[in-house]
Structure 1
Amino acid sequence: MNIEVKVLEILEQNPKLSAQEIAVMLGEDKENIEEVIKKLEEDKVIVKYHTIINWEKTEKEVVEAIVEVKVTPQRGFGYDAIAKRIYKFPEVKAVYLLSGDYDLHVVVEGKSMKDIAQFVGSKLAPLEYVLSTATHFIMKKYKDAGVILEDGEKDDREVITP
Protein backbone atom coordinates (compact mmCIF):
# COMPACT_ATOMS: atom_id res chain seq x y z
CA MET A 1 0.00 0.00 0.00
CA ASN A 2 1.47 3.37 -0.96
CA ILE A 3 2.09 6.21 1.47
CA GLU A 4 -0.82 8.32 0.16
CA VAL A 5 -3.37 5.60 0.92
CA LYS A 6 -1.90 5.07 4.39
CA VAL A 7 -2.10 8.80 5.15
CA LEU A 8 -5.69 8.94 3.86
CA GLU A 9 -6.75 6.00 6.02
CA ILE A 10 -5.26 7.65 9.10
CA LEU A 11 -6.84 11.05 8.36
CA GLU A 12 -10.20 9.43 7.67
CA GLN A 13 -10.17 8.06 11.22
CA ASN A 14 -8.81 11.23 12.85
CA PRO A 15 -8.35 14.42 10.79
CA LYS A 16 -7.00 16.27 13.84
CA LEU A 17 -3.70 14.38 13.79
CA SER A 18 -0.68 16.49 12.93
CA ALA A 19 1.79 15.66 10.17
CA GLN A 20 4.31 14.88 12.94
CA GLU A 21 1.97 12.36 14.59
CA ILE A 22 1.22 10.69 11.25
CA ALA A 23 4.92 10.56 10.44
CA VAL A 24 5.64 8.76 13.72
CA MET A 25 2.80 6.30 13.07
CA LEU A 26 4.15 5.47 9.61
CA GLY A 27 7.86 5.72 10.37
CA GLU A 28 8.27 8.57 7.87
CA ASP A 29 9.73 12.08 7.91
CA LYS A 30 7.38 14.91 8.92
CA GLU A 31 8.32 16.89 5.79
CA ASN A 32 7.43 13.92 3.55
CA ILE A 33 4.00 13.60 5.21
CA GLU A 34 3.39 17.35 4.86
CA GLU A 35 4.18 17.10 1.13
CA VAL A 36 1.87 14.10 0.73
CA ILE A 37 -1.01 15.91 2.50
CA LYS A 38 -0.43 19.11 0.49
CA LYS A 39 -0.50 17.15 -2.79
CA LEU A 40 -3.67 15.29 -1.76
CA GLU A 41 -5.35 18.61 -0.93
CA GLU A 42 -4.22 20.24 -4.20
CA ASP A 43 -5.43 17.22 -6.22
CA LYS A 44 -8.81 17.43 -4.42
CA VAL A 45 -8.40 13.90 -3.04
CA ILE A 46 -8.78 15.47 0.40
CA VAL A 47 -11.76 17.71 -0.19
CA LYS A 48 -12.58 18.85 3.33
CA TYR A 49 -11.88 18.04 6.96
CA HIS A 50 -15.17 17.25 8.64
CA THR A 51 -16.45 17.25 12.22
CA ILE A 52 -19.24 14.87 13.17
CA ILE A 53 -21.64 16.49 15.64
CA ASN A 54 -24.33 14.70 17.58
CA TRP A 55 -26.91 17.50 17.46
CA GLU A 56 -29.23 15.56 19.79
CA LYS A 57 -26.88 16.48 22.65
CA THR A 58 -27.13 20.22 21.94
CA GLU A 59 -29.83 22.85 22.12
CA LYS A 60 -29.86 23.38 18.35
CA GLU A 61 -32.92 22.02 16.60
CA VAL A 62 -31.92 20.19 13.43
CA VAL A 63 -34.14 17.97 11.33
CA GLU A 64 -32.75 15.82 8.55
CA ALA A 65 -34.53 13.87 5.87
CA ILE A 66 -33.64 11.54 3.06
CA VAL A 67 -35.51 12.34 -0.12
CA GLU A 68 -35.57 9.70 -2.82
CA VAL A 69 -36.02 11.34 -6.20
CA LYS A 70 -37.09 9.73 -9.46
CA VAL A 71 -35.99 11.78 -12.49
CA THR A 72 -35.88 11.66 -16.26
CA PRO A 73 -32.23 11.84 -17.35
CA GLN A 74 -31.43 14.72 -19.70
CA ARG A 75 -30.29 13.92 -23.20
CA GLY A 76 -26.53 14.38 -23.43
CA PHE A 77 -26.14 15.02 -19.68
CA GLY A 78 -27.73 11.99 -18.02
CA TYR A 79 -28.34 12.52 -14.32
CA ASP A 80 -25.49 14.99 -13.80
CA ALA A 81 -27.36 18.15 -14.80
CA ILE A 82 -30.35 17.55 -12.53
CA ALA A 83 -28.08 16.43 -9.67
CA LYS A 84 -26.14 19.69 -10.05
CA ARG A 85 -29.33 21.76 -9.85
CA ILE A 86 -30.36 19.91 -6.71
CA TYR A 87 -27.02 20.05 -4.86
CA LYS A 88 -26.83 23.83 -5.28
CA PHE A 89 -29.74 24.35 -2.86
CA PRO A 90 -28.40 25.34 0.60
CA GLU A 91 -30.80 22.89 2.30
CA VAL A 92 -29.13 19.96 0.53
CA LYS A 93 -26.27 18.28 2.41
CA ALA A 94 -25.60 15.40 -0.01
CA VAL A 95 -26.75 13.93 -3.34
CA TYR A 96 -26.02 10.39 -4.51
CA LEU A 97 -26.87 8.56 -7.75
CA LEU A 98 -28.57 5.24 -6.94
CA SER A 99 -29.48 2.01 -8.59
CA GLY A 100 -32.98 0.68 -7.97
CA ASP A 101 -36.43 2.27 -7.83
CA TYR A 102 -35.21 5.85 -7.32
CA ASP A 103 -32.43 7.65 -9.14
CA LEU A 104 -31.15 10.16 -6.58
CA HIS A 105 -30.75 10.02 -2.81
CA VAL A 106 -30.85 13.57 -1.42
CA VAL A 107 -30.03 14.39 2.21
CA VAL A 108 -31.78 17.57 3.32
CA GLU A 109 -31.46 19.59 6.54
CA GLY A 110 -33.86 22.12 8.04
CA LYS A 111 -34.99 23.64 11.32
CA SER A 112 -38.26 21.70 11.31
CA MET A 113 -40.21 19.04 9.46
CA LYS A 114 -42.29 21.84 7.98
CA ASP A 115 -39.14 23.52 6.55
CA ILE A 116 -38.16 20.29 4.82
CA ALA A 117 -41.69 19.69 3.55
CA GLN A 118 -41.78 23.21 2.11
CA PHE A 119 -38.39 22.70 0.45
CA VAL A 120 -39.48 19.44 -1.16
CA GLY A 121 -42.88 20.80 -2.20
CA SER A 122 -41.83 24.21 -3.48
CA LYS A 123 -38.25 23.78 -4.70
CA LEU A 124 -37.37 20.13 -5.32
CA ALA A 125 -40.52 18.44 -6.64
CA PRO A 126 -41.38 21.19 -9.16
CA LEU A 127 -37.97 20.97 -10.88
CA GLU A 128 -38.07 20.01 -14.54
CA TYR A 129 -37.20 16.32 -15.00
CA VAL A 130 -38.25 15.39 -11.43
CA LEU A 131 -40.95 12.74 -11.73
CA SER A 132 -41.56 11.91 -8.06
CA THR A 133 -40.14 12.14 -4.55
CA ALA A 134 -40.39 10.12 -1.34
CA THR A 135 -39.36 11.87 1.87
CA HIS A 136 -38.12 9.96 4.92
CA PHE A 137 -37.46 11.97 8.08
CA ILE A 138 -34.48 10.82 10.15
CA MET A 139 -35.83 10.18 13.62
CA LYS A 140 -32.58 9.17 15.34
CA LYS A 141 -28.99 8.54 14.31
CA TYR A 142 -27.20 5.57 15.79
CA LYS A 143 -24.06 5.74 13.66
CA ASP A 144 -22.86 8.50 11.34
CA ALA A 145 -19.81 8.46 9.05
CA GLY A 146 -18.56 5.31 10.76
CA VAL A 147 -18.89 6.77 14.27
CA ILE A 148 -21.29 5.28 16.83
CA LEU A 149 -23.24 8.13 18.42
CA GLU A 150 -24.70 6.21 21.35
CA ASP A 151 -23.04 6.50 24.79
CA GLY A 152 -22.78 2.76 25.05
CA GLU A 153 -25.05 -0.19 25.11
CA LYS A 154 -27.39 -0.40 28.05
CA ASP A 155 -28.32 -3.92 29.12
CA ASP A 156 -32.10 -3.90 29.62
CA ARG A 157 -32.36 -7.62 30.36
CA GLU A 158 -33.99 -8.64 33.57
CA VAL A 159 -31.69 -10.26 36.10
CA ILE A 160 -32.77 -13.79 36.94
CA THR A 161 -31.22 -15.56 39.91
CA PRO A 162 -31.69 -19.21 40.90
Structure 2
Amino acid sequence: MREEILELLENDSDLSSKEIATMLDIPANKVKMEINKLEEENVIVKYHTLIDWDKTDKEIVTAFIDVKVTPERDLGFDAVAKRIYKFSEVKSVYLMSGGYDLSVKIEGRTMKEVALFVAEKLATIEPIESTTTHFMLKTYKKDGIIFKGDQKAAERLVVSP
Protein backbone atom coordinates (compact mmCIF):
# COMPACT_ATOMS: atom_id res chain seq x y z
CA MET A 1 0.00 0.00 0.00
CA ARG A 2 2.80 2.43 0.93
CA GLU A 3 4.55 2.25 -2.44
CA GLU A 4 1.25 2.49 -4.32
CA ILE A 5 0.37 5.69 -2.45
CA LEU A 6 3.81 7.13 -3.17
CA GLU A 7 3.58 6.29 -6.88
CA LEU A 8 0.17 7.92 -7.16
CA LEU A 9 1.35 11.06 -5.36
CA GLU A 10 4.53 11.20 -7.41
CA ASN A 11 2.45 11.25 -10.59
CA ASP A 12 -0.14 13.71 -9.23
CA SER A 13 0.56 15.41 -5.91
CA ASP A 14 -2.85 17.08 -6.08
CA LEU A 15 -4.71 13.82 -5.37
CA SER A 16 -6.72 13.82 -2.16
CA SER A 17 -6.67 11.00 0.39
CA LYS A 18 -10.23 10.21 -0.64
CA GLU A 19 -9.28 9.92 -4.34
CA ILE A 20 -6.31 7.70 -3.51
CA ALA A 21 -8.50 5.54 -1.28
CA THR A 22 -10.96 5.06 -4.14
CA MET A 23 -8.19 4.17 -6.58
CA LEU A 24 -6.66 1.62 -4.19
CA ASP A 25 -9.95 0.40 -2.73
CA ILE A 26 -8.95 1.07 0.89
CA PRO A 27 -10.44 3.35 3.59
CA ALA A 28 -9.64 7.08 3.23
CA ASN A 29 -8.65 7.40 6.91
CA LYS A 30 -6.03 4.66 6.41
CA VAL A 31 -4.60 6.53 3.40
CA LYS A 32 -4.54 9.82 5.34
CA MET A 33 -2.72 8.16 8.28
CA GLU A 34 -0.15 6.61 5.92
CA ILE A 35 0.48 9.93 4.14
CA ASN A 36 0.94 11.67 7.50
CA LYS A 37 3.44 8.99 8.53
CA LEU A 38 5.33 9.33 5.22
CA GLU A 39 5.53 13.10 5.75
CA GLU A 40 6.75 12.70 9.36
CA GLU A 41 9.43 10.20 8.24
CA ASN A 42 10.50 12.68 5.54
CA VAL A 43 9.83 10.07 2.83
CA ILE A 44 7.51 12.65 1.28
CA VAL A 45 9.83 15.64 1.32
CA LYS A 46 7.74 18.21 -0.55
CA TYR A 47 4.81 18.48 -2.94
CA HIS A 48 5.74 19.88 -6.33
CA THR A 49 4.11 21.73 -9.20
CA LEU A 50 5.57 21.31 -12.69
CA ILE A 51 5.55 24.58 -14.64
CA ASP A 52 6.42 25.19 -18.29
CA TRP A 53 8.28 28.48 -17.76
CA ASP A 54 8.69 28.90 -21.53
CA LYS A 55 4.98 29.75 -21.66
CA THR A 56 5.40 32.64 -19.21
CA ASP A 57 7.15 36.00 -19.35
CA LYS A 58 9.69 34.98 -16.70
CA GLU A 59 13.23 34.71 -18.05
CA ILE A 60 15.16 31.80 -16.54
CA VAL A 61 18.50 30.43 -17.69
CA THR A 62 19.18 26.88 -16.53
CA ALA A 63 22.59 25.25 -16.65
CA PHE A 64 23.93 21.85 -15.74
CA ILE A 65 27.51 21.87 -14.52
CA ASP A 66 29.71 18.77 -14.51
CA VAL A 67 32.15 19.07 -11.61
CA LYS A 68 35.36 17.09 -11.00
CA VAL A 69 36.30 17.05 -7.33
CA THR A 70 39.18 15.84 -5.18
CA PRO A 71 37.30 14.08 -2.39
CA GLU A 72 38.19 15.22 1.13
CA ARG A 73 39.74 12.71 3.50
CA ASP A 74 37.15 11.09 5.81
CA LEU A 75 34.35 13.18 4.20
CA GLY A 76 34.39 12.04 0.57
CA PHE A 77 32.22 14.20 -1.66
CA ASP A 78 29.68 15.14 1.01
CA ALA A 79 31.52 18.21 2.35
CA VAL A 80 32.00 19.83 -1.06
CA ALA A 81 28.43 18.95 -2.09
CA LYS A 82 27.18 20.69 1.05
CA ARG A 83 29.19 23.82 0.25
CA ILE A 84 27.73 23.83 -3.27
CA TYR A 85 24.06 23.24 -2.38
CA LYS A 86 24.06 26.15 0.09
CA PHE A 87 24.19 28.67 -2.79
CA SER A 88 20.74 30.05 -3.65
CA GLU A 89 21.42 29.67 -7.40
CA VAL A 90 21.84 25.91 -6.98
CA LYS A 91 18.64 23.93 -7.53
CA SER A 92 20.04 20.36 -7.44
CA VAL A 93 23.30 18.53 -6.70
CA TYR A 94 23.88 14.87 -7.55
CA LEU A 95 26.81 12.51 -6.94
CA MET A 96 27.50 10.83 -10.28
CA SER A 97 29.43 7.91 -11.69
CA GLY A 98 31.47 8.31 -14.84
CA GLY A 99 33.69 11.13 -16.11
CA TYR A 100 32.82 13.68 -13.43
CA ASP A 101 31.85 13.52 -9.77
CA LEU A 102 28.99 15.96 -9.19
CA SER A 103 26.23 17.26 -11.39
CA VAL A 104 24.94 20.68 -10.37
CA LYS A 105 21.79 22.32 -11.74
CA ILE A 106 21.65 26.09 -11.36
CA GLU A 107 19.31 28.87 -12.45
CA GLY A 108 19.93 32.53 -13.15
CA ARG A 109 18.35 35.44 -15.01
CA THR A 110 20.99 35.59 -17.76
CA MET A 111 23.76 33.45 -19.23
CA LYS A 112 26.26 36.00 -17.92
CA GLU A 113 24.88 35.65 -14.39
CA VAL A 114 25.22 31.87 -14.58
CA ALA A 115 28.75 32.13 -16.03
CA LEU A 116 29.81 34.52 -13.26
CA PHE A 117 28.40 32.15 -10.63
CA VAL A 118 30.47 29.30 -12.05
CA ALA A 119 33.65 31.40 -12.39
CA GLU A 120 33.47 33.35 -9.13
CA LYS A 121 31.69 31.03 -6.70
CA LEU A 122 31.69 27.42 -7.87
CA ALA A 123 35.10 27.02 -9.52
CA THR A 124 36.85 28.78 -6.62
CA ILE A 125 35.90 26.08 -4.08
CA GLU A 126 39.19 24.39 -3.12
CA PRO A 127 38.50 20.67 -3.83
CA ILE A 128 36.99 21.44 -7.27
CA GLU A 129 39.40 20.50 -10.06
CA SER A 130 37.31 21.49 -13.09
CA THR A 131 33.84 22.37 -14.32
CA THR A 132 32.00 22.00 -17.61
CA THR A 133 28.87 24.08 -18.11
CA HIS A 134 25.94 23.03 -20.31
CA PHE A 135 23.16 25.57 -20.90
CA MET A 136 19.68 24.14 -21.28
CA LEU A 137 18.10 25.45 -24.47
CA LYS A 138 14.66 23.81 -24.49
CA THR A 139 12.67 21.33 -22.42
CA TYR A 140 10.96 18.50 -24.29
CA LYS A 141 10.12 16.24 -21.35
CA LYS A 142 10.47 16.68 -17.60
CA ASP A 143 9.54 14.32 -14.77
CA GLY A 144 7.76 12.03 -17.25
CA ILE A 145 5.65 14.86 -18.70
CA ILE A 146 6.02 15.80 -22.37
CA PHE A 147 5.96 19.56 -22.87
CA LYS A 148 3.98 20.68 -25.88
CA GLY A 149 6.13 22.85 -28.11
CA ASP A 150 5.39 24.91 -31.16
CA GLN A 151 2.45 23.15 -32.82
CA LYS A 152 3.34 24.54 -36.28
CA ALA A 153 6.82 23.01 -36.06
CA ALA A 154 5.30 19.66 -35.11
CA GLU A 155 2.92 19.75 -38.09
CA ARG A 156 5.64 20.38 -40.71
CA LEU A 157 6.17 17.63 -43.22
CA VAL A 158 9.48 15.84 -43.34
CA VAL A 159 11.44 16.74 -46.46
CA SER A 160 13.22 13.82 -48.07
CA PRO A 161 15.30 13.67 -51.27
Give the shorter-chain TM-score range.
over 0.9
Residues 116 and 10 of structure 1, relative CA distance in 2, 3 Å threshold: same
Alignment partner, residue 112 of structure 2 = 114
Q: After the TM superposition, which of the residue ranges 144-153 and 73-82 deviates more from structure 2?
A: 144-153
Q: Which runs of 5+ in 2 are unaligned?
A: none
Alignment partner, residue 24 of structure 1 = 22
Residue 156 (structure 1) shift: 2.0
Q: Which runs of 5+ in 1 are unaligned?
A: none
Q: Map 1:56-95 onto structure 2 (within 5 A).
A: 56-95=54-93
Alignment partner, residue 155 of structure 1 = 155
The share of aligned pairs that are identical, in percent, is: 52
| Equivalent position to 2:142, from 141, 144, 148 | 144
Is structure 2 residue 31 aligned with structure 1 residue 12? no
Alignment partner, residue 122 of structure 2 = 124
Separation in 2, partners of 1:141, 1:82: 29
Residue 76 (structure 1) shift: 0.2
Count of residues in Structure 1 that have an aligned counterpart in Structure 2? 157
Deviations 1:58-94 (A, max 9, x none): 0000010000000000000000110011011000000
Is structure 2 residue 4 aligned with structure 1 residue 41? no
TM-score by length of 1: 0.93
* 1:140 partner amino acid: K
Residue 145 (structure 1) shift: 1.2
Separation in 1, partners of 2:158, 2:105: 39
Separation in 2, partners of 1:68, 1:158: 35
Residue 25 (structure 1) shift: 0.4
Separation in 2, partners of 1:108, 1:21: 36
Separation in 2, partners of 1:109, 1:63: 6
Residue 158 (structure 1) shift: 5.8
TM-score by length of 2: 0.94
